[in-house]
Amino acid sequence: MNDLFSVFDHSIYDCINIMDKTTAIHDNHRFQGFFSDIGLISGHYINFQIPENLVVIGDIHGDFFTLEKIMERIDFSNYLKNESNVLIFLGDYIDRGKYSLEVLLLLCKLKNSYPNNVFMLRGNHEAYNHFPFSSYDFYSNLLDKFAHSTKLLYENHILPFFESLFLFCEIDGFSILTHGGLPVIENTNFFENYRFHLSSILNNLPLLEEILWNDPRDLSCDRNWSFSNRGLGKYFGIGITNMWLLKTGCKFLLRGHEPCNGYKLVHDNKILTLFSSKDPYPKFKSSFLKMSRKDISEINGNGLLFPNYIHFV
């Protein structure tokens, strides 16, 4: 296995170095705007033309060894040689599992080795500083490893890395990708310049909360949303899904955030939830999505075809 996977027993200085380098790459992407022949970035918004091949990975939650198996399955070193092949992670890299830091270090190494085709979206677990919740164990795990040095590592290096992660991705004519879900937009004038609003999400905490925490639900016809049992975010109905897809010209939403048996389809098969963590969730399955440009063309709005491109691990 490639030495990218040698992330155990890294010193705090190793962690600082790789995280700071990754944050700098994200900042450089934003400065450049265009980063490849098929991609551009504005703030925390990413836009792709249809890639030659696409791999999407859901919540990992510290499950290093399932992530390692997925990388083996996609033959990552060959796959990522071509910048028209894109690898997107949907967030929630930490908590629950035993190896949160190691997962982050592996992802950062991947980004440093393949900066123009590996992209990490931010999950709600990477935004604890904005939206605290009870089951956050990442910081205590860092304390076990680094003791009194943890505060320096976390506040000066890990949090800036989390803040640099992207929040909203759009693949032209195919799919929106977020961690949680679609925000409830009351004023449709938002969509006249929605890319601008999405590029500056960190300046709009209610919008950030919904992108990270929202979940799709089957609601009654007269309700577009309801409050979430999570205590953060909202449940959004198919009306919100249809509005976002209509206004953006996309056909699907690809998202993570919810444990499931590898994947699930909702809202007339327009939303695909992916889940890629196994060890912390023994009752569920883990999977990833892999599609070629031809597959994306052939699916043509028919979400029932997604299972043909789901790979279980």
Q: Which domains does the chain have, with CATH numbers?
A: 3-16+25-312 (3.60.21.10)
Of the candidates 88, 62, 60, which has an alpha carbon nearest to the alpha carbon of residue 74? Answer: 88
What is d(CA 295, CA 279) in angstroms, rounded to the nearest whole number? 30
Once rounded to an integer, what is the mean pLDDT over residues 9-19? 95
| The predicted structure's pLDDT at residue 222 | 81
Report the pLDDT averaged over residues 244-270. Answer: 98
Q: Is 249 exposed, middle or buried (0-12, 13-18, 19+ CB in 10 A)?
A: exposed
Look at residues 184, 46, 17 and name the one whose alpha carbon lies nearest to residue 121: 46
Q: What is the pLDDT of residue 220?
A: 87
- Quick one: which of 118, 108, 91 has its CA closest to 255? 91
Binned at pLDDT 50, 70 and 90, residue 3 comes out as confident
Signed CA dihedral, 215, 220, 224, 227: sign only: negative
Dump pLDDT digits (tens) for 273-302: 999 999 999 999 999 999 999 999 999 899
Segment 109-146, tens digit of pLDDT = 999 999 999 999 999 999 999 999 988 999 999 999 99
The whole-number average pLDDT for the span 27-54 is 95
Q: Is the pLDDT of residue 219 over 70?
A: yes
DSSP letters of 215-254? EE----TT-SEEE-TTSSSEEE-HHHHHHHHHHHT-SEEE
Angle at 253 (CA atoms; ends 250, 254), nearest 5 degrees: 130
pLDDT computed for residue 35 by the predictor: 87
| Pair 257, 275: CB distance under 8 Å | no
Burial 176-212 (b: 16+ CB within 10 A, else e): bbbbbbbbbbeeeeeeeebeebbbebeeeeebbbbbb
Give the position of tokens 């995280």.
19
Token look-up 């890629």 returns: 276
* Residues linked to residue 288 through DSSP beta bridges, in sequence order: 57, 311
155-211 tens-digit pLDDT: 999 999 999 999 999 999 999 999 999 999 999 999 999 999 999 999 999 999 999
pLDDT, mean over the chain: 96
Rounded Cα gap, residues 310 and 273, in angstroms: 11
pLDDT band of 2, cuts 50, 70, 90: low
pLDDT interval class at 14 (50, 70, 90): very high
pLDDT value at position 196?
Answer: 95
Q: Is the pLDDT of residue 1 over 90?
A: no
